[in-house]
Amino acid sequence: MSIFRFFTQAKLQQTGEKAAELLASIDPEGMTEAGIGELESKLKELSLEAASARTDFEREQAEATAARTLHERRLKAAEKLDGDLKSDPANAEIQAALDQILKLLEDSAPDVEREEREAVEAKQILDELESSAREIADELRHLRDMAKQAKQAMEKAEREKERAEQAEDRVKRLAGIKSKGSGFSTAIDAMNRAADKQREAANAAKLRVEVLSPQELPKNRLLEEAMAVAEGKPAVSGGGSLSERLARLKGG
């Protein structure tokens, strides 16, 4: 692989990862469902392959078992013929039969080993596929659990957000009511201040009237007589002797 090709593939992979991250940030639930769907597809594919591998293994195992069973039967037959030949060494028929069975054993031994080896390999393939399927199934269950928990967390966060917004709305409404109440209080305070100013103005006017109005002197006989004399009027005082008072009445 050339350096340019390797670099291009690396950049494409990075771009794909960034695109996936962007999509996940925009639509996390959709990306989770997509990830679950992808794992489900892989699990289905692996399950089909594992099922096919199990069929192959069972066939190879059956063939290996049959080859081994036949080999053991032939070996036992050869052992019997060998015993018979030892009892009758000159028996040509026994010799021929033993020679024939030994050739079969020698010729079939590689086939038996091959069948058993193929069965072992088929079992390894089956184990790998089933192990991969179990891993993906576990990952799928884990992802579903995480998606469920994440969804519950998102729903909880949404409920908390709604409660917070409702609480904020209540606070605003209460603040508005208090603001209106404070407006009424401000109006009443203004009216009270206006009334105080009017009372102050009335008191000031009253004070000016009292200052500008002529002051009435207290009733005093001597002061009244002095004022009368000052004005050139005869004293109206009731003082003096009886003859003086009579003379004033006569005008004299």
Q: What's the pLDDT tens digit per position in 21-58?
A: 443 444 556 557 777 888 888 889 999 999 999 999 99
User: What pLDDT, on a 0 to 100 scale, did the predictor assign at position 22?
Assistant: 40
- Per the model's pLDDT, the better-predicted residue between 53 and 236 turns out to be 53
Residue ranges of domains in the chain? 3-183
Q: What is the pLDDT of residue 42?
A: 87
What is the per-residue pLDDT across 237-251, written as a single tens digit (0 to 9) for each? Answer: 555 566 666 666 666
Coil, strand, or helix at residue 214? coil
Query: Is residue 252 scored above 80 in pLDDT?
Result: no
- The two structure tokens encoding residue 160: 């908390």
Query: If you average pLDDT over every residue of the chain, what do you get?
Result: 77
Tokens representing 159 are 């409920």
d(CA 224, CA 230): 10
**3-state class (DSSP) for residue 232:** coil
Most confident of 18-32, 80-94, 140-154, 157-171: 80-94
Compute the distance between CA of residue 9 and CA of residue 23 in angstroms, rounded to an integer: 21
What confidence score (pLDDT) does residue 79 get?
94
Query: What Cα–Cα distance (Å) separates residue 92 from each residue in 84, 88, 98?
Result: 11, 9, 10
What is the pTM assigned to this prediction? 0.50
User: What is d(CA 131, CA 46) in angstroms, rounded to the nearest whole number?
Assistant: 10
pLDDT digits (tens, 9 = 90+) for 172-198: 888 766 655 555 566 667 777 877 888
User: What does the pLDDT look like over 67-123, one tens digit per residue?
Assistant: 999 999 999 999 999 999 999 999 999 999 999 999 999 999 999 999 999 999 999
Number of helical H runs and strand E runs in the chain: 5, 0
Q: What is the pLDDT of residue 33?
A: 78
